[in-house]
A and B are shown apart, each in its own frame.
Chain A
Amino acid sequence: MTKKFNEKAWHEYDLGFMVSKPGCSAEYRTGDWRSQQPQTNKDKCIKCGVCYLVCPEGAIQLAADGTYDFDLEHCKGCGICATECWTGCISMVEEGE
């Protein structure tokens, strides 16, 4: 079994302690960090795309009908989309237990 990063001896690391296999934030399930999640009333959505532009995680995607869906695997629940939404169609609701 390969050693974890914090188990190696000083001479077992990559040259210059560089990271030779780059990770990707897409591989991290940051959706677990959330305490509130966004919900959309799509009747009020005017398809302006502001939520898509302001999401710091890129967790909002364009849906086939021109509205926007949330990627709850990665959404951290920051609420910026809800604050910035012009029509107030996004609201933040408790994750619950």
Chain B
Amino acid sequence: MAKRVGIEVSLAISEAVKLAKVDAVAAYPITPQTHIVEHLSELVAEGELDAAFIPVESEHSAMSVCAGTSAAGARTYTATSSQGLALMNEILFIIPALRLPIVMTIANRALSGPISIWNDHSDIMSVRDTGWIAMFAENGQEAFDLTLQSFKIAEDHRVLLPISVNIDGFTLSHVIEPHEFLDQDEVDKFLPEYKPAVQLNPDDPVSMGTVGVPEIYAEAKKCQDEVLKGSITVIKEVFAEFAEMFGREYKVVETYRSEGAETLLMTMGSVSETAMEAIDKLQEGGRKVGLIRLRLWRPFPADELRAEMAGVKTLAVLDRAVSFGGAGGPVAGEVRSALYSIKDAPYVASFIAGLGGRDITVDDFVMMVDQAEAMAEANEIHEYKMIGVRE
């Protein structure tokens, strides 16, 4: 039976990776991801996890090794943060192109400079267009569950794409909280052994990573995008199967008390739970305000988002990264694009807050909602507003 455990979220993720019976882990430690891979190396050293733990000299090497182990047919896991993800960048593009179902935890952290080890979403936003499936966990339980589900989604032969499970650095990775762990036999029933569609095998050789001449490159990119967009069907199937087996439901777009709301606050990641407190407070005051959260960032769930917009007049989108010189925060920009062509599209206010570890409090969320409604009323033209910055 499932057991309830008080444990650090990082360690809970390592336990999920162990339960997934990964074959290979190649990783380089970086704050705040360190505890995850440190614990995995312990599990391997103590014989509790029968996997190859491959220490490497950089994140570029880590992802390169992961490409190799995954191509050889091994269930492969890694984790990183911030500058580490940036250093992987070159290889990140190659993984989905080769259709390698690697699962990676990103303990989200700001990018330098100035040097910051603290949480925001600038790292994941900087790799938005690498072709990975990207999802966000809001608490430790979700981080545990999504890690297990990610292997099943990634390895589905209709998908065969890598997945990043994003957890907020420190605010999730370093928090001890309750988790419902699953037993090995339950996980085994949910997640069967990985069966590669093709693998590197000297007895049946293939060439991976060949040249794409102008006559085929566009077809390769079209194929990659279609498969990524199509993965949403498999993601929903796996979420449904998980809910049926273990009773915890996940959706690609999540809502909280959004029925009848005229204003929606939109968040991603662990601040969503703090935002729920703000919604409760606002609704107590009679305000028609709800919360909408993106679980899935790539593929972008545009249809599912549009389906939640009936009756919504104002949408206050929180971004935790800056798209320098851009037209709004990275999430708000996508949201505006997705909603532009629908009838009676809501006014989209773009807020940037919580950069480099700055807390976003319940009062901050209340203020964003107030401000968004005033901006909508005045139909204020703006790219984005930064919250809490000293002027």
Are A16's CB and B219's CB within 8 A?
no
- Give the distance in Å from the alpha carbon of A10 to the alpha carbon of B212 in the complex: 13
What's the minimum C-beta distance from A17 to chain B, rounded to whole angstroms?
A: 5
What's the minimum C-beta distance from B204 to chain A, rounded to whole angstroms?
A: 9
What's the minimum C-beta distance from A80 to chain B, rounded to whole angstroms?
A: 26
Known A5-B215, A16-B97; judge A22-B197 contact (CB<8 A): no
- Give the distance in Å from the alpha carbon of A13 to the alpha carbon of B198 in the complex: 14
Are A17's CB and B198's CB within 8 A?
no
Residues from chain B with Cβ under 8 Å of A19 in the complex? 206-207, 210
Known A5-B215, A6-B215, A11-B226; judge A17-B220 contact (CB<8 A): yes
Are B219's CB and A9's CB within 8 A?
yes
B47: interface (CB < 8 Å): no
Known A13-B223, A15-B197; judge A6-B206 contact (CB<8 A): no
Are A8's CB and B219's CB within 8 A?
yes
B205: interface (CB < 8 Å): yes
- Give the distance in Å from the alpha carbon of A13 to the alpha carbon of B223 in the complex: 9
Are A16's CB and B99's CB within 8 A?
yes
A63: interface (CB < 8 Å): no
What's the minimum C-beta distance from A85 to chain B, rounded to whole angstroms?
A: 35
Residues from chain A with Cβ under 8 Å of B223 in the complex? 10-11, 13, 17
Which of B210-239 touch A at CB < 8 Å?
Answer: 210, 212-213, 215-216, 218-220, 222-223, 226
What's the minimum C-beta distance from B213 to chain A, rounded to whole angstroms?
A: 8
Known A11-B226, A15-B99, A15-B160; judge A20-B198 contact (CB<8 A): yes
B208: interface (CB < 8 Å): yes
**Contact residue range for chain A?**
10 to 19
B366: interface (CB < 8 Å): no
**Contact residue range for chain B?**
20 to 34
What's the minimum C-beta distance from B279 to chain A, rounded to whole angstroms?
A: 43
What's the minimum C-beta distance from A50 to chain B, rounded to whole angstroms?
A: 33
What's the minimum C-beta distance from A78 to chain B, rounded to whole angstroms?
A: 23
B345: interface (CB < 8 Å): no
Are B210's CB and A17's CB within 8 A?
yes
Residues from chain A with Cβ under 8 Å of B98 in the complex? 16, 18
Residues from chain A with Cβ under 8 Å of B100 in the complex? 16
- Give the distance in Å from the alpha carbon of A6 to the alpha carbon of B98 in the complex: 19
Q: Tell me which of B198, B213, B216 contacts A15 (CB under 8 A).
A: B198
Are B207's CB and A22's CB within 8 A?
yes
What's the minimum C-beta distance from B274 to chain A, rounded to whole angstroms?
A: 41
- Give the distance in Å from the alpha carbon of A8 to the alpha carbon of B215 in the complex: 10
Are A22's CB and B206's CB within 8 A?
yes
Write out, one digit per residue, whether chain A residues 15-29 have a CB within 8 A of any chain B CB (1) or not (0).
Answer: 111111010000000
- Smallest CB-CB separation from A21: which chain B residue? B206
Residues from chain A with Cβ under 8 Å of B97 in the complex? 16-17
- Smallest CB-CB separation from B213: which chain A residue? A6
- Give the distance in Å from the alpha carbon of A8 to the alpha carbon of B212 in the complex: 14
Are A18's CB and B220's CB within 8 A?
no
What's the minimum C-beta distance from A79 to chain B, rounded to whole angstroms?
A: 28
Write out, one digit per residue, whether chain B residues 83-127 have a CB within 8 A of any chain A CB (1) or not (0).
Answer: 000000000000001111000000000000000000000000000
Residues from chain A with Cβ under 8 Å of B208 in the complex? 16, 18
Q: Tell me which of A10, A15, A18 contacts B219 (CB under 8 A).
A: A10
Are A6's CB and B216's CB within 8 A?
yes
Residues from chain B with Cβ under 8 Å of A5 in the complex? 215-216
Known A17-B212, A17-B216, A20-B198; judge A10-B206 contact (CB<8 A): no
- Give the distance in Å from the alpha carbon of A5 to the alpha carbon of B212 in the complex: 11
Task: Report A's interface with B, CB cutoff 8 A.
Answer: 5-6, 8-11, 13-20, 22
24 contacts between A and B (CB under 8 A): A5-B215, A5-B216, A6-B213, A6-B216, A11-B226, A13-B216, A13-B220, A13-B223, A15-B99, A15-B160, A15-B198, A16-B97, A16-B98, A16-B100, A16-B208, A17-B97, A17-B210, A17-B212, A17-B220, A17-B223, A18-B98, A18-B209, A20-B198, A20-B206
* 11 further contact pairs, Cβ within 8 A, besides A11-B226, A18-B98: A6-B215, A6-B216, A13-B216, A13-B219, A15-B197, A16-B97, A16-B98, A16-B99, A18-B198, A19-B210, A22-B206
